[in-house]
Amino acid sequence: MSTKLCSAPRLMKHSRPAARLAVLAVLAGFAAASQAAAVDYPVKPIRIVVSFPPGAGTDLVARVVGAELQTVWGQQVIVENKPGAAGNIAAETVLRSPADGYTLLLVNSTFTANVGLFPNLPFDPIKDFAPITRLGASPMVIAAAANTPFNNLPEMMAAIKAEPNKYSYASCGNGGPPHIVGEQFFRMHGTDVTHIPYKGCAPATTDVVGGQVPILFTNYSSVKSYLPSGRLKAMAVTLKERSSLAPDIPTVKELGLGDITTDLWFGLVAPAGTPQAIVEKLGKNISDVLKKLDVREKLRQQAVDPQPDSPAQFSTFLKEEIVLYSRLIKELGIKLD
């Protein structure tokens, strides 16, 4: 009996190297298969699912990038719109798809803000998705209706403080990034301005242009066509420095009214489990596309500044955005209802 007890550990000891080699062989096989898949990828049409309706900023970015990738790959790139539930419907659609690189999700800032808004979010933006690259960003703008008595941000804040119950502001939706930044800005100055949420940036902008609501927090693409004629007045952008897309609009920070540096970004992710070699190839191909002058110009016409990065960099960025928005939502007490 003692012989058996002594022999068992020796057998286990000698089996460990063999087991490790077997595991390494399996991993090497997976890596080789991933590399092989990436060499031929793509061999069929690719679907980019967008969480907003046709014509929205996110949709336009998908179509500009998708059209160029179609030329590069020689494969059809289909943009599919799945609006609703602040982007969660589109995300769940992609998660139900095979993790093979042929179904991608174009996301924006709401993708990370939703973590703090939805207590029972049906997916984890980090664990359930493979980041590919950030595509670009659009400045967030504080604008005012033409019939308001102020022409710049300091004057706007003076008017609000002089008549605290008179003014309200519109945003693209309850709990969206413009709403979060609006609340952050007004709380920073000790003012309580009534928020009026809209179902989208377009209707919010339309009502401010029409004078129904005096102040607007939105993306630059929604307001840029109204600024030259004076139908809207740009107060400031919420960036670290002035945007090359709107160099005449000052930042909140340079006006001495707070250090708010939040933009509206766009990016691409795939379902978790997508072969890393395919993720890397996607990232490189898209980065190369975004460096082309004609593509950059098309995106800039849509008020988007191209900002490609690597999958690893985009992963870090997403984690930082989740921390930022979750903190702000909690501190500001923002709720969906």
Q: Tens of pLDDT along 249-266? A: 999 999 999 988 899 999
Q: How far is Cα 48 from Cα 80, in angstroms, rounded to an integer?
A: 6
Which pairs with CB-CB distance under 8 Å and at least 24 residues apart come from 1-10?
A: none
pLDDT of residue 20: 63
Q: How far is Cα 314 from Cα 50, in angstroms, rounded to an integer?
A: 18
Give the contacts of 45 (CB within 8 A, at least 6 positions apart): 75, 76, 77, 78, 102
> Which domains are present in the chain?
40-137+265-332 (3.40.190.150), 140-237 (3.40.190.10)
Q: Pick the residue with more confidence: 55 or 298? A: 298
Q: E strands within the chain?
A: 46-50, 77-81, 103-108, 129-138, 140-145, 168-171, 194-197, 215-219, 232-237, 264-271, 305-306
DSSP 193: P
Q: How far is Cα 186 from Cα 191, in angstroms, rounded to an integer?
A: 5
Entry pTM: 0.86
Nearest to 252 by CA among 168, 179, 182, 336: 182
Nearest to 177 by CA among 219, 209, 134: 219
> 304: which 2 tokens?
């988007």
> 35: which 2 tokens?
């590399």
pLDDT of residue 82: 94
Would you call the peptide bond into 131 cis, given omega within 30 degrees of 0 as the criterion? Answer: no
Residue 22, pLDDT above cutoff 70: no
List, for residues 72-111, the tens digit of each pLDDT value: 999 999 999 999 888 999 999 999 999 999 999 999 999 9
